[in-house]
Structure 1
Amino acid sequence: MKIISWNVERPKINQFEKINFIENIIKENNADLIFLRETNSILNFGKEYFKLESNILPEFFENQTYFKGENRVTIYSKYEILEEIKTYDNFTCISGKIKTEFGELVLFGSIIGSFGGRDQYFKNDLLNQKKEIENLKSNICFSGDFNISFSGFKYPSKVIVSETMKFFEDNDLAILTKENKDCAIHIVLNNEFLKDKIYTNKMIEIDRKFSDHNLVICEISANKKK
């Protein structure tokens, strides 16, 4: 199972070079699950993917102007979406259940703080998303733009980083991407789901003319030695 997570920094419908770059790099890496943020409904990765999509943003929302087709979070899945799960904010996070070769998995894609890691939106999202993760009584793949860096510069603060790491630890969740330096994009899964499996994590550097975030990829496979 290969998982991509990326913040594509608000592509507009007429930005053909950027759209082509995004679609090409995603297709080249051929992931089973794709979590995108700051995205646009114009993006298309082919008929093999099912899709969960947060609400399209109105032209003016939360003191910011948005353009045609923009939304905050989309999940593309080669596994059929068996059920969509309601979240506290349909603009900021989405959730749904799939069945994989390793069993059922609840997908949860989000932005924690759509304007960065230091305002009230961030605090509200972090609080509400922790509650929702705790209430999902199943194996979870939680991925998004957390606006938290666990390695390198501790953003937004050492306290937030420490508290968030403890939250995941207390809920038996592993941050597969925590060693990616100065990276706010993360993929988190249950330790139980990862049992008897091996995983790899890498980060692909992206030219800043296309996105202000790098792309992360995690790949999970059965441990054949078991």
Structure 2
Amino acid sequence: MKIINFNIERLLILSKLKPIIQLIKSYDADLIVLTETNSTLIDLGEDYFEYHTTPLTRNQDKVNFYREGENRVSIYSKYPIKSIIQTIDEFTCLAIEIETDFGELIVYGTIIGIFGYSGDKDRFVKDFSKQQSDFNKIFGNKNVCIVGDLNISLSGWIYPSRKYRDKLNTLIEEFDMDRSTGNLKDNIDHILMSKKFIGNRGIKVEMFNVDKKLSDHFGICMTINK
């Protein structure tokens, strides 16, 4: 099972659209989560079921720069979507349940801090708190995967603060999740997976777009061996 996580920087430069799609498709992933995206422009083909957060209006969150079709999170899955789970913020996070080769899995795609931390500290704190309540409500004892731009590094450069690094580590421990993407230095985009879902299978985590030519974020790929 292969999972991709990539923040594509709102497709600010449209000439990057084709190489971004080519790069994503080259991984032939089973599950793809894109953040800062545009569901009207991204077409990954008929192999994928897809679900998106609610499209943004131009003046969403009292700014004036969103373009037609922009949305914050999209999930593309080769596995059928069993159910869509209501989240606390329809514009910023979404949750679906899928039936994989390894069993049922709830995938929670999100951005924590839509303007980063330095851009709007109060919004970051609000997003973290609201989504934490979502986790407590939705996850229970189920197999879960949090994927997206969490704006928190777990190694290397401390961002946004040691306090929120500790808070995220506490959540990881509480829900007994693998934190392999946290070992990627200076990385703020994560794939956090239930350890019980992974079981005894080996996993591999790699980064792409390391030169940041296609986006200002690293792309992350996690492979779970059969």
TM-score w.r.t. the length of structure 1 is 0.93
Q: Secondary structure at the match of 2:154?
A: coil
- Give the CA deviation at 1:209: 4.2
* 2:209 is the alignment partner of 1:210: no
Task: Give the equivalent residue in structure 1 for 2:145.
Answer: 141
Instruction: Provide the rounded CA distance (Å) in 1 between the counterparts of 2:220 and 2:8.
Output: 12
Task: Give the equivalent residue in structure 1 for 2:36.
Answer: 38
- Give the CA deviation at 1:206: 4.2
Q: What letter is aligned with 1:204?
A: F
Task: Give the equivalent residue in structure 2 for 1:49.
Answer: 48
Gapped regions of structure 2 (runs ≥ 5): none
Compare 65-74 and 159-168 and name the one that shifted more.
159-168
Task: Give the equivalent residue in structure 2 for 1:125.
Answer: 127
Q: What letter is aligned with 1:105?
A: L
Q: Secondary structure at the match of 1:79?
A: coil
- Give the CA deviation at 1:106: 0.5
Q: Which has the higher helix share?
A: 2
Gapped regions of structure 1 (runs ≥ 5): none
Task: Give the equivalent residue in structure 1 for 2:9.
Answer: 9
Instruction: Provide the rounded CA distance (Å) in 2 between the counterparts of 1:206 and 1:68.
Output: 29
Q: What letter is aligned with 1:180?
A: L
User: How does 1:62-101 map onto structure 2 within 5 Å?
Assistant: 62-64=61-63, 65-101=65-101
Q: What letter is aligned with 1:50?
A: F
Q: What letter is aligned with 1:140?
A: V
Instruction: Provide the rounded CA distance (Å) in 1 between the counterparts of 2:143 and 2:202.
Output: 17
| Aligned residues with identical type, % of pairs | 38
Q: What letter is aligned with 1:127?
A: S
User: How does 1:137-176 map onto structure 2 within 5 Å?
Assistant: 137=140, 138-176=142-180
Compare 44-53 and 160-169 and name the one that shifted more.
160-169
User: Is the contact made by 1:52 and 1:95 (CA closer than 8 Å) also made in structure 2?
Assistant: no
Residue 184 of structure 2, aligned match among 170, 180, 194: 180
CA separation of 1:109 and 1:129: change in aligned 2, threshold 3 A: same
1:53-77 CA distances to partner (integer Å, 9 max, x unpaired)? 0011001111222001100000000
- Give the CA deviation at 1:129: 1.3
CA RMSD of aligned residues (A): 1.3
Compare 135-144 and 33-42 and name the one that shifted more.
135-144
- Give the CA deviation at 1:210: 2.2
Compare 172-181 and 77-86 and name the one that shifted more.
172-181
Q: What letter is aligned with 1:162?
A: D
